Amino acid sequence: MSSETQKILTTDGIPLEVSLKKAERRNKIKAFLLVAPLLLFLIITYVFPIGDMLMRSVDDKMVTEMLPKTFKAMEKWDGKELPEEDVFKAFYLDFRQLVDEKREGKLSTQLNYTKNGFKSIIKKLRRKSKNFEEGNYKEQIMAVHKRWADVEYWKAIKRRAPAYTSQKYLKGMDMFKNENGEIVSVSEDRRIHRILWLRTLEIAFFVTLFCFLMAYPIAHLLATLPMKYSNLLMICVLLPFWTSLLVRTASWMILLQQQGVVNDFFVGIGLVADDARPEMMYNKTGTYVAMTQILLPFMVLPLYSVMKTISPSLMRAGKSLGGTPIVAFWKVYFPLTIPGIGAGCLLCFILAIGYYITPALVGGASGTLISNQIAFHMKSTLDWSFASAMGLMLLAGVLAIYWVYNKLVGIDNIKLG
Amino acid sequence: MNKEFVKFDKVDKSYDGKILVVKDLQLDIEEGEFVTMLGPSGSGKTTCLMMLAGFETPTHGEIYLDGKAISSIPPHKRGIGMVFQNYALFPHMTVYENLAFPLRVRKIPKDEADKKIDKALSMVSLQGFAQRMPGQLSGGQQQRVAVARSLVFDPQLVLMDEPLGALDKNLRESMQYEIKHIHESIGVTVVYVTHDQSEALTMSNRIAVFNDGKVQQLSSPDELYEKPVNSFVAEFIGENNTFAGEVSDISGGKCKVKLANAEILANPISVKGKGDKTTVSLRPERALINPSDKMDNVHNGKIEEVIYHGDHTRVRINLLGNSEFILKVPNSSSNLDIKLGNEIKIGWNSEDARALDPK
């Protein structure tokens, strides 16, 4: 047929494709303008901050910029014996300039991150260096403190030469680069972050599981009850959702504390002795209970929206064909709710993995999560780059879960409503 | 043959304790019969079906299946096949798995099950569709799968709840014949619910007309059409011309009914004596234009509307004060003078004019 090679023309002789594009351009522009505000908002509030976090977490320019001459001189140093005079001289010159600009304190903090013991010797060097004479800086600096004559400290300085570092990420996994540049784990008794990661995963997993077990019957009831009752039940589900997170967590504190309502009740019915009230708060139990309650609506709503679409005649069909109610449920109803289960679990798990307020208030020492550690570094140690690194690791973890879910169930199988 | 294969015995059903949806239902269905429950929506027909299937419990009375009371038997033990309004095919299973479901729960060995599934699929001419998902089938095909699924485990009784409601007209008609033929070939008892009277008339052995929670009439399609026992049935089944009046004389199997300004002869069905109010019902095809002298009712009317229908012409006439009197004239005899505004003579036999209860 010739129509395949021949271009179709409109009545005016313009090629059809061109005409079509022209006709649709207006609509495309309109559509873009409609999404533009959101796009802009997302770029400003989401893409930029994450990019900034990424930069901050690997950024190590501060020391690089503070000691430019030193690092230049160190390029030729093999890092085995103590460096030569030229390195000492360069270091002295850099250091004098920092002292003039009153920035040597920052240097000491930064170097102390790399190796403990820099703080005091830098203070001492500042005092002594005022009276240094020209020439032979190596001798003079080494005379300030014996650590200045220790090659390990000079190696520590050299490690800070690159402008970018993966050190924060390694630290987040309780690992570090040793003097020889090998990645090793920290000693067993100092592996706090790994414990926190595992605990975060564990708590997120169990909270998701508890949410699922409790939400499934509720969602089913919501989807099958007559409108009059299901509306009421829906309000009961949503009411906590509308209450402030802090209020809800605080009310759990009132309920769960040792002199609290739940314990009083247990003592009252004789379940536990008055002097042996169990601790239900400031530990994992408190975190589980409060987080499950708080995340429950995130499981109920997707499940409900999926169950709502399942025709009741399907269960009836299953039964009329001879399936017992259990068989009909398991073979017919349950498989149809999987998209909702996937959406609910993913939502709950992702929210739980980064949860902050609740574990911070009711978690105690054994119930804190990685997010509390991030907040700690943001607010207390002010090690923002470390906090950023851990934040990004969390983000990567969430994306990994998403990816696994997509491989296992398929993301198009998700239904939020 | 068991005359009382399915038996509703004085069954009442109420959902809220205030209104009876089904009132004192008495209904026997013979084995191998095709019975249709026909009625307007809200007449209680679907409720009856659901009680039979076991999804609703009777408030009072008992239902018997093959002599056994079944009110306390859960649906999955009743062994009744059912076709639902929206097919209720399991969307996550293939056609094969859908059909295999009732066989699997009955622990029927796989090779035997495969044979049954093949047979059921060929019965509805869907061989080769076993591996399709229901979503990939057209409405008519889904319907056939639903029918096949309800029959695959050889139930003695199959219930169908408005199974053709979602299909377009042509498909619906061909499916009607198909279901009828399946019923005839395997001899299963079918209870069929519909609100479509032509569907009921074409398919059923007997039709139970429901209204207001009661069976108004239970009889064969022709009897239902020719001899309705009350004015609801007459009105609900087919077309109907009515005259409201009062019995002025009753004798010798005929009665005189006095209308506003005339008197007609009618067949007394549910009138007892002089002075009874009545509605006289007459099928449109029973009245003729230019009647022979033998007809004992002959009156003059004026043509108000003529509608061409291809095989016949509908003529609306103002007759004896009823301006909605309809006549169906076959389009073969072209010599009739049917023109708007013409005065014509119309006649019918008093036997065909049934004096029923007043509306």
Closest-CA distance, A344 to chain B, in angstroms, reads 20
Instruction: Determine contact, residues B43/B211, Cβ cutoff 8 Å.
Output: yes
Assess whether A109 and A249 both reside in one domain.
no
Please report whether residue B105 resides in a domain.
Answer: yes
Contacts of B92 in chain A (CB under 8 A): 335-336
Assess whether A39 and A131 both reside in one domain.
no
Which has more confidence, A171 or A2? A171
Contacts of B193 in chain A (CB under 8 A): none
C-alpha distances (whole Å) from B291 to each of B28, B287, B295, B336, B350 are: 43, 8, 7, 12, 13
Task: Tell me: pLDDT of A5 over 70.
Answer: no
Taking residue B45's Cβ as centre, other Cβ atoms within 10 Å add up to 29
Please give the Cα distance from B177 to B125 (Å, whole number). Answer: 14
Domain assignment of residue B274, given as a range: 239-356
Please report whether residue B285 resides in a domain.
Answer: yes
Assess whether B171 and B291 both reside in one domain.
no
- Could you give the residue ranges of the DSSP H alpha helices within A225-311? 227-242, 245-256, 261-268, 284-308
Task: Tell me: pLDDT of A235 over 50.
Answer: yes
Assess whether A154 and A112 both reside in one domain.
yes
- How many domains does chain A contain in total? 3
Beta bridge partners of B327: B315
CB contact under 8 A, A321 and B102: yes
For chain B, 359 residues long, the average pLDDT of each consecutive 10-residue run is 83 87 88 90 87 90 89 88 89 92 91 91 87 89 90 90 84 87 89 89 90 88 87 86 84 80 81 80 83 78 85 84 82 69 82 81
CB contact under 8 A, B90 and A332: yes
- How many domains does chain B contain in total? 2
pLDDT at B34 (0 to 100): 92
**Domain end point (choices A40, A57, A74):** A57
Please report whether residue A71 resides in a domain.
Answer: yes
Residues B80-135: pLDDT tens digits?
Answer: 999 988 888 999 999 999 999 999 999 999 999 999 999 999 888 888 888 999 98
CATH number of the domain to which B38 belongs: 3.40.50.300
CATH number of the domain to which B292 belongs: 2.40.50.100
Assess whether B347 and B212 both reside in one domain.
no
Please report whether residue B332 resides in a domain.
Answer: yes
Assess whether B131 and B207 both reside in one domain.
yes
Contacts of B89 in chain A (CB under 8 A): 317
Q: How many CA atoms lie within 13 A of B176 on its CB side?
A: 21
pLDDT at B334 (0 to 100): 59
CB burial of A120-142 (b: ≥16 within 10 Å; e: otherwise) equals ebbeebbeebeebeeeebbebbe
Please give the Cα distance from A376 to A372 (Å, whole number). Answer: 6
Identity of residue B10: K
Residues A320-353: pLDDT tens digits?
Answer: 898 899 999 999 999 999 888 988 998 899 899 9
Closest-CA distance, A313 to chain B, in angstroms, reads 6
Q: Which residues of B touch A (CB under 8 A)?
A: 53-55, 74-82, 84-86, 88-92, 101-102, 105-106, 149-150, 153, 159
A397 Cβ contact partners less than 8 Å away, ≥ 6 residues apart: A353
CB contact under 8 A, B53 and A335: no
Which has more confidence, A291 or B2? A291
Please report whether residue A347 resides in a domain.
Answer: yes
Contacts of B88 in chain A (CB under 8 A): 311, 313-314, 316-317
E strand segments, chain B: 6-14, 20-29, 34-38, 60-65, 68-69, 80-83, 157-161, 189-194, 206-211, 214-219, 241-251, 254-258, 263-268, 277-282, 288-289, 297-308, 312-319, 322-330, 343-348, 354-356
Please give the Cα distance from B180 to B197 (Å, whole number). Answer: 15
Assess whether B203 and B63 both reside in one domain.
yes
Please count the residue pairs, one from chain A and one from chain B, whose beta carbons lie less than 8 angstroms apart: 67
Assess whether B222 and B285 both reside in one domain.
no
In this complex, the residue of A322, A332, A335 whose CB is nearest that of residue B76 is: A322
Q: Is B229 helix (H, G, I), strand (E, B) or coil?
A: coil
Assess whether A255 and A320 both reside in one domain.
yes
**Domain end point (choices A137, A160, A183):** A160
Contacts of A324 in chain B (CB under 8 A): 76, 105
Q: Which residues of A touch B (CB under 8 A)?
A: 311, 313-314, 316-325, 327-328, 331-332, 335-336
pLDDT at A103 (0 to 100): 86
Where residue A216 falls among pLDDT bands split at 50, 70, 90? very high
> Largest alpha-carbon pair distance within chain A?
101
Chain B interface, best mutation among A313, A315, A321, A336, by max B CB count within 10 A: A321
Assess whether A243 and A353 both reside in one domain.
yes
Taking residue A202's Cβ as centre, other Cβ atoms within 10 Å add up to 12
**Domain end point (choices A57, A81, A104):** A57
pLDDT at B346 (0 to 100): 84
Please give the Cα distance from B130 to B97 (Å, whole number). Answer: 8
Q: What average pLDDT is seen over chain A?
A: 86
Please give the Cα distance from B165 to B327 (Å, whole number). Answer: 30
CB contact under 8 A, A322 and B153: yes
**Domain end point (choices B214, B231, B248):** B231
Contacts of A330 in chain B (CB under 8 A): none
Please give the Cα distance from B287 to B327 (Å, whole number). Answer: 7
Residues A49-75: pLDDT tens digits?
Answer: 889 888 888 888 888 888 888 888 888
Q: Which residue of A has its CA nearest to B152?
A: A321
Please give the Cα distance from A52 to A50 (Å, whole number). Answer: 5
Contacts of A340 in chain B (CB under 8 A): none
Please report whether residue A13 resides in a domain.
Answer: yes
Please report whether residue A165 resides in a domain.
Answer: no
Taking residue B154's Cβ as centre, other Cβ atoms within 10 Å add up to 14
CB contact under 8 A, A331 and B153: no
Closest-CA distance, B197 to chain A, in angstroms, reads 25
Task: Tell me: pLDDT of A141 over 90.
Answer: no
pLDDT at B335 (0 to 100): 57
Task: Tell me: pLDDT of A99 over 60.
Answer: yes
Please report whether residue A329 resides in a domain.
Answer: yes
pLDDT at B284 (0 to 100): 85
CB contact under 8 A, B76 and A320: yes
Q: What ipTM was predicted for this assembly?
A: 0.80
**Domain end point (choices B165, B199, B231):** B231
Closest-CA distance, A368 to chain B, in angstroms, reads 42
CB burial of A370-403 (b: ≥16 within 10 Å; e: otherwise) equals bbbbbbebbeeeebbbbbbbbbbbbeebbeebee
In this complex, the residue of B54, B88, B153 whose CB is nearest that of residue A317 is: B88
Task: Tell me: pLDDT of A410 over 80.
Answer: no
Task: Tell me: pLDDT of A89 over 50.
Answer: yes
C-alpha closest to that of A318 among B53, B69, B71? B53
Please report whether residue B1 resides in a domain.
Answer: no
Please give the Cα distance from B212 to B222 (Å, whole number). Answer: 23
Task: Tell me: pLDDT of A121 over 80.
Answer: yes
Please report whether residue A170 resides in a domain.
Answer: no
CB contact under 8 A, A320 and B81: yes
pLDDT at A6 (0 to 100): 65
CATH number of the domain to which A322 belongs: 1.10.3720.10
C-alpha closest to that of A338 among A216, A210, A234, A207? A216
Assess whether A97 and A35 both reside in one domain.
no
In the β-sheet with B288-289, what is the strand arrangement from edge to edge?
B288-289, B343-348, B297-308, B312-319, B322-330
Please give the Cα distance from A170 to A193 (Å, whole number). Answer: 10
Please report whether residue A171 resides in a domain.
Answer: no
Where residue A2 falls among pLDDT bands split at 50, 70, 90? very low
Assess whether A214 and A148 both reside in one domain.
no
* Residue B48 in tokens: 């009856």
Closest-CA distance, B78 to chain A, in angstroms, reads 8
Assess whether A99 and A13 both reside in one domain.
no
Assess whether B96 and B222 both reside in one domain.
yes
**Domain end point (choices B231, B266, B291):** B231
Percent of all residues in chain A with a pLDDT value above 90, rounded to a whole number: 17
Assess whether A26 and A154 both reside in one domain.
no
Assess whether B285 and B330 both reside in one domain.
yes
Assess whether A218 and A150 both reside in one domain.
no
Assess whether B175 and B244 both reside in one domain.
no
pLDDT at A332 (0 to 100): 92
Chain A interface, best mutation among B16, B49, B50, B92, by max A CB count within 10 A: B92
Please report whether residue A262 resides in a domain.
Answer: yes
Assess whether A311 and A380 both reside in one domain.
yes
Assess whether A328 and A373 both reside in one domain.
yes
Domain assignment of residue A15, given as a range: 2-57
